[in-house]
């Protein structure tokens, strides 16, 4: 039996304005909505010179197959700043091959280099896939609980 094709090597790099179309498509594949204006703003804010904000993409054979974005956040509740992940997304055809892990590790390395000692995120309770992924990276419940109220 022939061995399975080895996966192409993954490169993680900072996002560029030219990545907009792929990012919009990757997001739309998950959310069902194309939001070019939103992602253009995010690329401008997170892939620019601000050292506290990060927008990284993963490339396989020259194709962008995933992205992650986050920032270093000062916490309002008297705790020291920490890394915060806003979103992670890997193309359906490239999943379960370590791309998400590479993106997570890359953003964490930036956070560590910037001097923060932990990373946080918020996940929908009814999204087991994303929750399993972050758990597999060693994330556990943190000291905060999110509360909300429906306004009249």
Partner 1 sequence: MKLQTATRLALYAVMALSREPERQFSTAELAERFDVSEHHLAKVLRTLGRAELVEAVRGAGGGFRFSANPKRVTLLEVIALFEDITSPPGPKEPGVRTHEGKALGAVLAEIDDVARATLGSITLATLHRSATRR
Ligand X SMILES: CC(C)(COP(=O)(O)OP(=O)(O)OC[C@H]1O[C@@H](n2cnc3c(N)ncnc32)[C@H](O)[C@@H]1OP(=O)(O)O)[C@@H](O)C(=O)NCCC(=O)NCCS
User: To the nearest whole angstrom, how small is the minimum distance from the Cβ of residue 13 to ligand X?
Assistant: 16
SS (H, E, C) the chain: CCCCCCCCCEEEEECCHHHHHHHHHHHHHHHCCCCHHHHHHHHHHHCCCCCCEEEEEEEECCEEEEEEEEEEECCCCCCCCEEEEEEEEECHHHCCCCHHHHHHHHHHHHHHHCCCCCEEECCCCCCHHHHHHHHHCCCCCCCCCCCCCCCC
Tell me if 150 contacts partner 1 by CB under 8 A: no
Matching residue, tokens 């890997």: 90
Residue 64 interacts with, from ligand X, partner 1, none (CB under 5-8 Å by kind): none
Q: Among residues 44 and 132, whose Cβ is nearest to partner 1?
A: 132
Residue in 61, 76, 126, 148 binding partner 1, rule: CB under 8 A = 126
Tell me if 98 contacts partner 1 by CB under 8 A: no
Residue 141 interacts with, from partner 1, ligand X, none (CB under 5-8 Å by kind): partner 1
Instruction: Point out which span in 22-30, 34-42, 65-73, 122-130 binds partner 1 (CB under 8 A).
Output: 122-130
Spatial distance between the Cα atoms of 30 and 12, rounded to a whole number of angstroms: 21
Q: Among residues 55 and 104, whose Cβ is nearest to partner 1?
A: 104
User: To the nearest whole angstrom, how small is the minimum distance from the Cβ of residue 20 to ligand X?
Assistant: 17
Q: Among residues 80 and 126, whose Cβ is nearest to ligand X?
A: 126
């Amino acid at each position: 039996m022939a061995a399975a094709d080895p996966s192409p090597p993954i490169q993680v790099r900072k996002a560029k304005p030219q990545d907009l179309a792929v990012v919009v498509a990757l997001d739309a594949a998950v959310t069902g909505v194309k939001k070019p204006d939103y992602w253009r703003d995010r690329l401008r804010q997170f892939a620019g010179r601000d050292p506290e904000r990060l927008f990284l993409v993963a490339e396989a054979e020259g194709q962008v197959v995933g992205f992650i974005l986050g920032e270093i956040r000062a916490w309002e509740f008297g705790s020291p700043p920490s890394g915060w992940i806003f979103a992670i997304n890997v193309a359906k055809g490239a999943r379960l091959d370590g791309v998400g892990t590479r993106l997570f590790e890359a953003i964490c390395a930036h956070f560590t280099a910037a001097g923060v000692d932990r990373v946080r995120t918020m996940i929908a309770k009814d999204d087991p896939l994303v929750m399993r992924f972050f758990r597999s990276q060693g994330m556990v419940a943190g000291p905060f609980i999110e509360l909300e109220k429906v306004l009249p």
